[in-house]
């Protein structure tokens, strides 16, 4: 198997503002839904909040230097909307803009290409108080925020992503209630999903207007599913899961509309569609960001609605989550996206693993993480050779950080962060990543 990558392939790491920045009240930053959620007892496993996280707001120069050390030539990060427009739709906070402008300069000086996600979950709380993403007015607020950011950074940032994982923003946060704002209402969740798609479609031309050479995309999370048995019930459950999880966003963006089976399964919880909405969503994108961690194996115990995801077949190295390690699915996913949707470019915008890392004499020997990443990048050269236009791989994450509802318990970083002292230690996986990036090939 050929293990080399095409010239110019991006070897990046990814983070999100709320997960690393800390400094949640510094320089005029407004409250976000994650500040409110984390401050609510019982919502975060460890009882932590977004402060201090990794204090990257103060330590960004050190963090860019570390990126350089681990050989990354690209960095995917997100902008905190409440730093830019603290109450969501009011006054603009120049200090917030300055932070990201400085970060971009630091990256470019280090030879690291910035990839910016506009919305990675930290909605200004003031907008949530008015209904959040379920309120169509949030679409306009998002467009104004987007224009403000692109105006400031568009001379230097050429890669833009509108939203990160709309499934998590809508279903996980508003139907399942595990993430901020913690609601449990399917109709609200689907209204959120719909408005996210409209906001994405309207943002795409707006970004291009302010940054003509921009490449614009969106990041979707995929959990391809397989049935546990040959039963027709399991087959039906897999299909429904696929439509709800994998197609609900992809199909509208690519002009196919909402998937029919899931639409009817949702009954009267489906969103109201205004004239023009479905057309707006199909604004052509330059690339699709693909987040992949694991596949799902589905077993239906009575009806597709009661189907359970049971991943018991392979090593479940990600202990606390039970996510299965199954890299073949990444190859199949990218191949399917290319053959069925023919998108101009695909980028793996997140892939990585969570382990209980231990510091031993000042080092972290996270061999299991190396194995996980190696297994996943090993499937990519073949995929590229078959014609899939994959241009980059971003490891989640640059460093251990505030892993949402799990707090800092779940470590995903190539760099270890001591939560007490803020000391950073490049893990063995980070050192290995540097060799991969330098060789532009899978290495041992």
Q: Which of 21, 31, 165, 233 is catalytic?
A: 165
Residue 71: CB minimum distance to ligand FCB, A: 22
The DSSP line for 249-272 is HHHHHTTS-S-HHHHHHTGGGSPP
Q: Which CB, 194 or 411, lies closer to ligand FCB? A: 411
Residues that bind ligand FCB (CB under 6 A): 16, 19, 164-165, 168, 221, 291, 350, 396, 403-404, 412
Q: Which CB, 55 or 129, lies closer to ligand FCB? A: 55
Question: Per residue, what are the HEC states of 49-115?
Answer: CCCCCCCHHHHHHHHHHHHHHCCCCEEEEECCHHHHCCCCCCCCCHHHHHHHHHHHHHHHHCCCEEE
Cα–Cα distance for residue pair 33/46, rounded to 1 Å? 18
Q: Which CB, 350 or 366, lies closer to ligand FCB? A: 350
Q: Which CB, 3 or 316, lies closer to ligand FCB? A: 316
Residue 438: CB minimum distance to ligand FCB, A: 26
Q: In which residue are the tokens 């996270």 written?
A: 366
Residue 197: CB minimum distance to ligand FCB, A: 18
Q: In which residue are the tokens 């510091």 written?
A: 359
For 288, phi and psi rounded to 5 degrees? -110, 130
Is 165 tagged catalytic? yes
Residue 417: CB minimum distance to ligand FCB, A: 15
Nearest residue to ligand FCB by CB is 16
- In the chain, what is the greatest distance between 2 CA atoms, to the nearest angstrom? 63
Instruction: Count CB atoms within 10 A of the CB of residue 36.
Output: 18
Q: Which CB, 16 or 204, lies closer to ligand FCB? A: 16
Non-local CB neighbours of 264 within 8 Å, separated by 6+ positions: none
Is 350 tagged catalytic? yes
Q: How many CA atoms lie within 13 A of 20 on its CB side?
A: 30
Residue 291: CB minimum distance to ligand FCB, A: 6
Instruction: Specify whether the CB–CB gap between 109 and 429 falls below 8 A.
Output: no
Show which residues are catalytic.
165, 350
């Amino acid at each position: 198997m050929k293990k080399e990558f095409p010239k110019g392939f991006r070897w990046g790491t990814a983070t999100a503002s709320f997960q690393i920045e800390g400094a949640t009240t510094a320089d005029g930053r407004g409250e976000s839904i994650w500040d409110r959620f984390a401050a609510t007892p019982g919502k975060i496993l460890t009882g932590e909040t977004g402060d201090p996280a990794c204090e990257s707001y103060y330590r960004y120069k050190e963090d860019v230097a570390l990126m350089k050390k681990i050989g990354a030539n690209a960095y995917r990060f997100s902008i905190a909307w409440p730093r830019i427009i603290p109450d969501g739709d009011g006054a603009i906070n120049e200090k917030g803009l300055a932070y990201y402008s400085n970060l971009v300069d630091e990256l470019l000086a280090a030879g690291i290409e910035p990839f910016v996600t506009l919305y990675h979950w930290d909605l200004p709380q003031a907008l949530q108080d008015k209904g959040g993403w379920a309120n169509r007015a949030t679409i306009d607020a998002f467009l104004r925020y987007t224009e403000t950011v692109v105006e400031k950074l568009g001379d230097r940032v050429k890669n833009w992503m509108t939203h990160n994982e709309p499934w998590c923003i809508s279903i996980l946060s508003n139907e399942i209630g595990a993430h901020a704002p913690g609601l449990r209402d399917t109709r609200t969740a689907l209204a959120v999903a719909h408005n996210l798609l409209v906001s994405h479609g309207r943002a795409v031309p707006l970004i291009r207007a302010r940054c003509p050479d921009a490449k614009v995309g969106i990041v979707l999370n995929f959990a391809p599913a397989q049935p546990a048995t040959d039963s027709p019930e399991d087959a039906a459950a897999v299909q429904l899961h696929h439509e709800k999880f994998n197609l609900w966003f992809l199909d509208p963006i690519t002009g196919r509309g909402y998937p029919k089976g899931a639409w009817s399964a949702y009954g009267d919880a489906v969103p109201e569609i205004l004239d023009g909405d479905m057309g707006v969503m199909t604004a052509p994108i330059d690339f699709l960001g693909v987040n992949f961690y694991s596949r799902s194996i589905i077993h239906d115990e009575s009806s597709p609605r009661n189907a359970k995801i049971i991943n018991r077949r392979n090593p479940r190295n990600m202990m606390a989550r039970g996510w299965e390690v199954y890299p073949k699915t990444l190859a199949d996913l990218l191949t399917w996206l290319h053959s069925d949707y023919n998108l101009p470019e695909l980028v793996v915008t997140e892939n990585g693993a969570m382990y209980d890392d231990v510091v031993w004499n000042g080092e972290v020997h996270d061999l299991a993480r190396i194995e996980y990443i190696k297994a996943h990048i090993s499937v990519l050269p073949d995929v590229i050779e078959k014609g899939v236009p994959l241009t980059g791989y971003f490891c989640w994450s640059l460093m251990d950080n505030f892993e949402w509802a799990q707090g800092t318990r779940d470590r995903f970083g190539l760099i270890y962060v001591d939560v007490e002292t803020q000391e950073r230690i490049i893990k063995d996986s980070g050192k290995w990543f540097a060799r991969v990036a330098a060789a532009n090939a899978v290495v041992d």
